[in-house]
Structure formats: structure tokens, C-alpha cells
Amino acid sequence: MELSVSVERWPIAGAFRISRGAKTEAEVVVATLTDGPHRGRGECVPYRRYGESVEGVVAAIERLRPAIEAGLDRIALQSALPAGAARNALDCAFWDLAAKQSGRRVAELAGLPLPRPVLTAYTLSLDAPEAMAAAARAAAKPLLKLKLGGDGEDFARVAAVHAAAPEARLIVDANEAWSPAETPALAARLAGLGVSLIEQPVPAGADEALDAATCPIALCADESCHTVTDLPRLAGHYSHVNVKLDKAGGLTAAIELAKGARELGLGLMVGCMVGTSLAMAPAALLAPLADFTDLDGPLLLARDREPGLRYDGALLHPGVAALWG
């Protein structure tokens, strides 16, 4: 087995802004495993919010080179690295390699439902209310995700988008920017504006202040939910969890997280960082299990891989084997 690691930079169309800042490119790490004629790839997006850096993720993967070349497999990988971006890249590379070696798709190997076209949310970056309204009109998508800022203008932003796209269902994502005190009242005000889901309104660690049973809008944990071990403390405070492969540490752990959430009666969103189709393809295998799909990363880029995933408007189609899996 041979391992190679590369860093790639993909320009974003314009800028991507959330409450914590803005960026103009997606910096990703790609791990490639080669075994004879077969090659498997996995892409991850290191995230500073979780203490990750591109350099740190590359170093973490490189430290496993001797073990991988000596025979470490996907199962052993789960204990060799903690949850996070580095393990995600390697885990997805192992799955892709297994698919190429066996001639079977990863969905079949993993016992997942066969992938089908799914509706994905389209994300509007944090901006002034009138700018987000204009972006909503231009996007013309049936499911919009709004990045919010916790700066006193969030209700105005959602109201402006709802007026510009009244038929669209809305997901609002505060990225931990609201306080526990303001969240219930703001949720009540948003209930009449087409909002179906509020994602991570409060800082991770303040979750106990939330009561999913009394909130008029479904609440989804994102920054608070990484792996299956997080679920017991989140149940009751959230109605949904956002499963992201970069947080969970790969498709293997994400499947465990999704199944664990369902066993506790929690709804699912499958989400992503801003990356290419190589990162979206494994996550898309979880879409048939989810209530909400947010895999629009390639739509936010100025260009994507070839071949990439096919999007027809808001409809995301299953990936081809030449891309992944």
C-alpha cells in the first residue's frame, strides 16, 4: 500500500461569510491510497474552529504512513486517529479503494440504501438583509440555508429573504452566534417566515439552555455534535443533528452517528464544509437517511473537479465511480 497526501486550493465564487469570518478559497487535503492498479481518494477540509490546520492535518496523516504501508486498514484507522478531518480523508480513501478493488459501490459495501437524486439546500452567505434577499432571488432554489450573524439584524435578514423567495423553505444557521436568552423569542418570531430548521443557535456547551420540545422550529446541533458519543447529552435539547464527515472522522463514524441518532429519535441533516465533489460524494450516501441535505459545497466554488457531482438546480445526483466510491 502506498500513501500520498496533497494540499489543494479551490477558489470560491465571491466570498463565503459566516458569523466567524469570511474566506475566498477552499483549502482541502486529499489522501490517496494506491494498492497495485487500484487507487482510492478522500478529501477533507481542516477547520480552525475545531483546532485544525492544513499543516496539522497533513502531519497527522503522514505520521500514519509507516502503519498504512505495513497494513493498517480502515477498521484499525478508527482507533489510530481521533475524529476529525485527517481521519476523514483516510477513511474515505479506504472506502474508495475497497470499491475499486471489489468492483462494487461503497453504498453496497456499507449496507446503505442505494443513492438517489436528493434535494440539497443552497447556502446564502452572511450579508446585509437586502444583499441576502437579492441572492435568494438570483438562486431561485426551493431550500435555502441562511448564514446569520447574531448582530441584531438576523430577523431582518430572514424577513428579507422570505419576502424575496416566499415559496422557499428556509434553514437558518447562526453558527453559535445567538445567546441562550434570545434564542426562544427569536425562534418564535421566525416561525412565520418559512423557517423549517434552526442550526446551532447557541455556543457549543450552552446546549442545556435549549428545549427542543417547546421550540416552535426544529433545532439542529452542528458544532455541538461530532460523534455518536455526543448524542445522549444533546437529546431533548435538539430535535436534529448535523452529520458531517469532517467532524465525525469519516464515513465509517458518520454511519454510526446517523444510526445512533435515529435510535434516539433524532432527525438528521447531512452537511458539509466548503469543498469539492470529492468531499460531497461520500457524504451523499447518507442523504437517503436524512431529513435535510446540505451538500452544496461545489455550487459555492468558482470551479469543481472533473468529473464532479451533477446538480440540476437544487437536485443532487449520485456520483460516478470515476469520482469516488
- Nearest one of 313, 305, 253 to 279, comparing CA atoms: 305
Burial label for 66, CB within 10 Å (0-12, 13-18, 19+), is: exposed
230, 261 Cβ separation under 8 angstroms: no
Question: How far apart (Å, rounded) are the C-alpha atoms in residues 167 and 42?
Answer: 37
244 is catalytic: yes
27, 7 Cβ separation under 8 angstroms: yes
- Nearest one of 97, 106, 92 to 44, comparing CA atoms: 92
207, 237 Cβ separation under 8 angstroms: yes
Query: Hunting for cell 489522501 — which residue is that?
Result: 31
Q: Please state whether beta strands 267-270 and 292-293 pair in parallel, antiparallel, or not at all (unpaired).
A: parallel
Classify 167 as helix, strand or coil. coil
Kindly name the residue from 100, 141, 145, 244 that is annotated as catalytic. 244
Question: How far apart (Å, rounded) are the C-alpha atoms in residues 28 and 33?
Answer: 17
- Nearest one of 268, 227, 238 to 88, comparing CA atoms: 227
Helices (H), the chain: 54-63, 65-69, 74-80, 85-102, 106-110, 129-139, 154-164, 183-190, 231-234, 245-248, 251-263, 277-284
Cite the active site residues: 147, 244
